């Protein structure tokens, strides 16, 4: 008879159990009690051992007394805000945009601790229905204010057939050791076209977790860009589901990590029907003792013939102590597909540096020019000029901070 060895729970796990029980989520509390937080033994968390990295959980967030200015402003954008897990009052929405809220979380159930915690702890969710194409950028400012707090929130977005939109989500707040757990569910109708950008600008003392779930109908086109540039510990999970013929996804992401930071982008994509395509592209830049993790899994279902999917991760190390970890995976059950994956990692090209320096360009400026060139293919496809300029500003700010 096999004996079950009890899991030794740490401070963070005991706090989570107390918080889950306090909101009536007994099943989720039991899950943490039995399994604890994921360790290296859990394949999808092999490089992001939450049991080791997440030492403490602050108290559950209370309603924010006041919210500071957005960490990123986009000229002309339609602004929405979630503060400490509470959906804030919105101004008049653009034509065809219906804003509302609903109780609880919105993510589909899956075997993932962050998804389970978000569903249990998110009190309410912002809902957006886009009935037609929207011209201004829709910016959802998600923030945690005040003293250190544990906050969960969710957003649910429906994009109608043939509609198009650019949606930006920013994550920030006060300079405290917050833990944020954010969920986004997005359904794209037939031939809908969406650009979805998420930017973590949390304080270095914070832990930022996000799960982005996408469902694409026939002919839908999705471009995403995840940028980690703030929190000391961050992980964004991306779950695209290509469920309609002709659906296409350009799933992209960028980890910018400095000394002491750990950033993780993990994608688990499903091509469920024939004739879908995707080109996931992720990049990492690490300096000091920063650690970047990129995991990408492409699953092609048995009936998903004619799938064309290629995953790529490119890393750039700016110091000898930096770490860039990559784990691409293919899980293919169909027999008529074009799929592949690749991963590269290196330092700045010495010949290119010599060329620029030989023409009188200072070393620091030459490095910046090469890094910008390395990242152009992530930002260039963003057609909204104000948003693209703001993203370049974030990258430039990160580069300057290391000089």
Residue range 13-42, pLDDT digits in tens: 999 999 999 999 999 999 999 999 999 999
**Considering the chain, what percentage of its residues have pLDDT values greater than 90?**
84
**Considering the chain, what percentage of its residues have pLDDT values greater than 70?**
97
Average pLDDT over residues 76-86: 95
Torsion sign, CA atoms 394, 395, 401, 403? negative
Whole-number pLDDT of residue 3: 44
What are the structure tokens assigned to 284, written together? 């990492």
Average pLDDT over residues 145-164: 97
Question: Has residue 1 got a pLDDT over 50?
Answer: no
Whole-number pLDDT of residue 6: 67
What DSSP assignment string belongs to 117-174? HHHHH--EEEEEEE-S---SPEEEEEEE-SSS-EEEEEEEEEE-TT-EEEEEEEEEES
Question: Has residue 68 got a pLDDT over 80?
Answer: no
What are the structure tokens assigned to 367, written together? 């490095």
The answer to whether 84 touches 8, Cβ cutoff 8 Å, is no
What are the structure tokens assigned to 189, written together? 């109708």
- For all residues of the chain together, what is the average pLDDT? 93
**Residue carrying structure tokens 């270095």:** 204
Average pLDDT over residues 95-117: 95
Residue range 155-204, pLDDT digits in tens: 999 999 999 999 999 999 999 999 999 999 999 999 999 999 999 999 99
Torsion sign, CA atoms 5, 6, 7, 8? negative
Cβ neighbour number for residue 124 with a 10 Å cutoff: 16
> How confident is residue 360, by pLDDT bands cut at 50, 70 and 90?
confident
Find the DSSP H helices in 122-236. Answer: none
Average pLDDT over residues 93-103: 94
Whole-number pLDDT of residue 2: 45
Please name which of 260, 200, 267 lies closest in space to residue 234, comparing C-alpha atoms.
200
Average pLDDT over residues 227-231: 96
Question: Has residue 4 got a pLDDT over 80?
Answer: no
Count of alpha carbons within 13 Å of 202, Cβ hemisphere only?
35
What's the whole-model pTM score? Answer: 0.95
């Amino acid at each position: 008879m096999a004996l079950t060895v009890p899991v030794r729970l740490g401070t963070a796990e005991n706090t989570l159990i107390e918080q889950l029980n306090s909101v009536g989520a007994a099943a989720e509390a039991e899950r943490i009690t039995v399994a604890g937080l994921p360790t290296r033994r859990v394949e999808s968390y092999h490089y992001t051992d939450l049991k080791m990295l997440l030492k403490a959980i602050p108290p559950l967030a209370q309603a924010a007394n006041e919210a500071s200015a957005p960490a990123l402003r986009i000229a002309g954008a339609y602004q929405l805000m979630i503060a400490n897990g509470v959906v804030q009052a919105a101004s008049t929405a653009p034509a065809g945009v219906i804003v509302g809220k609903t109780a609880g979380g919105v993510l589909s159930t899956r075997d993932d601790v962050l998804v389970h915690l978000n569903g249990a702890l998110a009190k309410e969710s912002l809902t957006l229905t886009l009935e037609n194409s929207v011209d201004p950028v829709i910016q959802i400012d998600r923030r945690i204010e005040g003293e250190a707090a544990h906050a969960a929130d969710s957003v649910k977005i429906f994009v109608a057939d043939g509609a198009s939109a650019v949606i930006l989500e920013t994550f920030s707040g006060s300079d405290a050791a917050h833990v944020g757990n954010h969920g986004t569910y997005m359904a794209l109708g037939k031939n809908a076209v969406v650009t979805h950008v998420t930017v973590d600008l949390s304080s270095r003392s914070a832990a930022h977790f996000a799960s982005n779930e996408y469902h694409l109908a026939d002919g839908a086109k999705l471009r995403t860009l995840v940028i980690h540039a703030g929190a000391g510990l961050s992980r964004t999970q991306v779950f695209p589901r290509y469920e309609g013929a002709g659906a296409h996804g350009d799933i992209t992401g960028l980890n910018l990590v400095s000394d002491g930071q750990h950033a993780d982008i993990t994608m688990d994509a499903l091509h469920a029907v024939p004739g879908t395509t995707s080109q996931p592209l992720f990049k990492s830049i690490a300096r000091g003792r920063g650690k970047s993790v990129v995991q990408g899994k492409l699953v092609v279902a048995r009936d998903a013939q004619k799938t064309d999917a290629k995953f790529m991760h490119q890393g750039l190390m700016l110091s000898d102590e930096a770490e860039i970890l990559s784990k691409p995976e293919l899980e293919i059950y169909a027999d008529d597909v074009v799929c592949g994956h690749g991963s590269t990692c290196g330092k700045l090209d010495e010949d290119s540096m010599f060329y620029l320096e030989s023409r009188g360009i200072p070393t620091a400026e030459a490095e910046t020019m090469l890094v910008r060139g390395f990242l152009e293919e992530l930002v260039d496809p963003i057609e909204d000029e104000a948003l693209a300029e703001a993203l370049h500003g974030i990258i430039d700010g990160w580069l300057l901070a290391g000089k």
